[in-house]
Amino acid sequence: MSKAAHMNLRAVLSAIPMIDTHSHVMGLQEMRRNSVNLFKIFGNTYARLDFISAGMSASVWEFNDNLENFWPLFKEYQPFVQHTAYYRATIRALQGLYGLKEETITDDNWQVLSERVTRAYQRNDWYHYVLKERANVNVGMLDMFWSVDYFCHDPSLFRPILRANPLILGRQYIYKFKGKAHYTSIEEIAQAFDGNLKTFEGYLDLVRTVIKGYKAVGSPAVKIATAYERTLEFLPVSRDEAAHLYVSEPQRLTPEEERRLQDFMARFVIGIAIEEGLPVQIHTGIFARNANILSNGNPEHLNQLFLDFPDARFVLLHFGFPYIGQAISLAKMFPNVFVDLVWVPLLSPTVARQVLDECLDLVAVNKIMWGSDAYQVEDVYAAACLAREVVTDVLLNKIERGEMNEEQALTIAQRIFYQNAMSLFRLNQDTKMVTGK
């Protein structure tokens, strides 16, 4: 293929609008609650995890409003992480959106950059500008962790996703963490939805009501991210056993009994998702924390679930990285298992290229999609740039090797970035929310 044809294909692929299947972008008002500056941007990116992994104290990131004090700490650890994909992605966003010329943060550029960040967040159209005009993302599916009574997102940019963790983990979750839950408790959810937790039937009714309620406000999927708290293996448990466990004192349940009740609830949630026609996104693989049990996220744990729920549509987020072979194999075998590149290009563009190259050899092309997993619009921009480059590189290589032609490559890119998500999540039923710039 000629150089001109290369450039042409690269440009055409770059112009395809995207559906971001999964992100956590904080609302503009939420971001503005405290002053927005350069190090707050870094603190909200995954790059923070690499600084902590390199030995920087996690707690200093919580109090980064005093920039003069924070900069020397940042500068001390920056040389250890400035080569990582997380760090590079943040630099990419700062270069593309804030005019950074250098490849790192320096004594000479951090203050002027920080002022530009602060000014950008005074713009009311900042999110619209970055997401629509710069990243060319049509709509993002937003996991806001939990917000039962408010949806603090712009419906022209985002659709809410129901994170089912508290529904599945229930009272045990609160008990286990002695009240220090990361999410809204099941009791608070019951209050917001007028539910009754006194009986097991009441609990099940509440779960059904919540899923239906989210669907009614436009949620196109249910997300299960319980690998952060426990293994992904959800074994069959009878309703009678679950009811018996539910009425027992939560404090008296053994870890095995807690797990069995959660197993039942996960399967119950999946059953409701089938009834409501909602796909189930599942966090698989590595965690966005500096400590956890890696193997809990192995997608192979889900195998029995795929056999038991042929009518559910499961999406394996993050390709199960580092359990990539397992995720791809499951998506190849099961008609109801899909894979999502979400987060992978941010974790490592090298891994993303390898994953997609292998996946296109093995898996039907209507089962692959992309998402950012970003916490702020700067990361959506970086993730979108990286994903476009990854997909373009992989497809160009396949054309070079004679495995497909340009037309096929274009169709595949459109499917990964747009069409597959539109179809799977039935976003076209509400085109008003997702079309047009």
Interface region with Zn ion, contact rule CB under 5 A, candidates 122-130, 365-373, 379-387, 413-421? 365-373
Binding-site size for Zn ion (CB under 5 A) equals 1
Which residues lie closer than 8 Å to 234 by C-beta, 6 or more apart? 262, 263, 266, 267, 302, 304, 305
Residue 340 in the binding site for Zn ion (CB under 5 A): no
Per CB under 5 A, which region of 171-179, 308-316, 366-374, 428-436 contacts Zn ion?
366-374
Minimum distance of Zn ion from residue 373's CB (angstroms): 4
DSSP H helical ranges for 121-185:
126-128, 165-176
Helix orientation angle between 377-400 and 85-98, rounded to the nearest 10 degrees: 110
Q: Report in angstroms how near the CB of residue 63 gets to Zn ion at its nearest.
A: 25
* From 167-175, 206-214, 265-273, 371-379, span contacting Zn ion (CB under 5 A): 371-379
Closer CB to Zn ion, 84 or 281, in the complex? 281
DSSP 341: -
CA distance linking residue 268 with residue 316, whole number of Å: 19
Question: Between 170 and 371, whose beta carbon lies closer to Zn ion?
Answer: 371
Nearer to Zn ion, 261 or 352 (CB): 352
Order across the sheet with 137-143: list the strands: 18-23, 137-143, 158-163, 222-224, 280-283, 314-317, 337-340, 368-369
Smaller CB separation from Zn ion, 195 or 297: 297
Name the residue nearer to Zn ion (CB basis): 105 or 347. Answer: 347
Write the burial class of residue 420 (CB in 10 Å: 0-12 exposed, 13-18 middle, 19+ buried).
buried
Angle of helix 165-176 relative to helix 200-216, nearest 10 degrees, comes to: 130
Of 263, 373, 378, 379, the one binding Zn ion by CB under 5 A: 373
Minimum CB separation of residue 77 from Zn ion in Å reads 25
Give me the least distance between CB of 282 and Zn ion, in Å please.
Answer: 11
Cβ-proximal residues to 335 (8 Å cutoff; 6+ apart), any chain: 310
Kind and range of the H or E element at 346? Answer: helix 344-347
Q: Which of these, 265, 270, 364, lies nearest to 311 by C-alpha position?
A: 270
Cα distances (Å, whole numbers) of residue 395 to 388, 399, 410: 11, 6, 9
Torsion of CA 40, 43, 47, 51, to 10 degrees: 120
| Closest distance of CB 317 from Zn ion, Å | 7
Cβ–Cβ < 8 Å for 76, 51: no
**Which CB atom, from 373 or from 379, has the smaller least distance to Zn ion?**
373
β-pairing, 280-283 with 137-143? unpaired
Q: Minimum distance between the CB of residue 32 and Zn ion, rounded to whole angstroms?
A: 23
What minimum distance in Å lies between the beta carbon of 283 and Zn ion?
Answer: 7
Work out how close the CB of 175 gets to Zn ion at its nearest, in angstroms, rounded to a whole number: 25
* Residue 228: CB minimum distance to Zn ion, A: 10
Closer residue to Zn ion, CB minimum distance, 78 or 281: 281
- Decide whether 229 or 373 has the Cβ nearer to Zn ion: 373
How many other CB atoms are there within 10 angstroms of residue 401's CB atom? 8
* CB-nearer residue toward Zn ion: 100 or 324: 324
- Segment near Zn ion (CB under 5 A); pick from 56-64, 133-141, 154-162, 368-376: 368-376
**Region from 165-173, 273-281, 370-378, 391-399 binding Zn ion, contact rule CB under 5 A:** 370-378
Comparing every residue's Cβ against Zn ion, the nearest one is 373
Tell me which amino acid residue 317 is. Answer: L
Contact residues toward Zn ion (CB under 5 A) are 373
